[in-house]
Amino acid sequence: MKEHFFKIRGVIVVDDTQTEDDFSMFVKALDDRDAVLKIKEYLRTQAPNVAGRMVGRVVIQGIEKRGTP
């Protein structure tokens, strides 16, 4: 299968304070759904967390197909 590059934009909404932190990331994936899954998994493991749990929720605001490798 052919992979494409995607630019994913969104915010992490912190549950306690309802503040938003913007993010924009590039990822290589099969389709837009695969790109979102990869980004959410990355943020779940790399974003600030408390006791292994992310401090907020991820809200995807935009997906842009950027080309092929």
Of the chain, the percentage scoring pLDDT greater than 70 comes to: 96
Give the integer Cα–Cα distance in Å for 4 and 59: 22
- CA distances to 20, 43, 69 from 3, rounded to whole Å, are 31, 21, 7
Task: Tell me the domain boundaries of the chain.
Answer: 4-67
Please state the rounded mean pLDDT for residues 46-61.
81
Q: Which CATH architecture has domain 4-67?
A: Roll (3.10)
With 80 as the cut, is the pLDDT of residue 34 above it?
Answer: yes
Give the number of other CB atoms < 10 A from CB of residue 10. 21
pTM, rounded to two decimals: 0.81
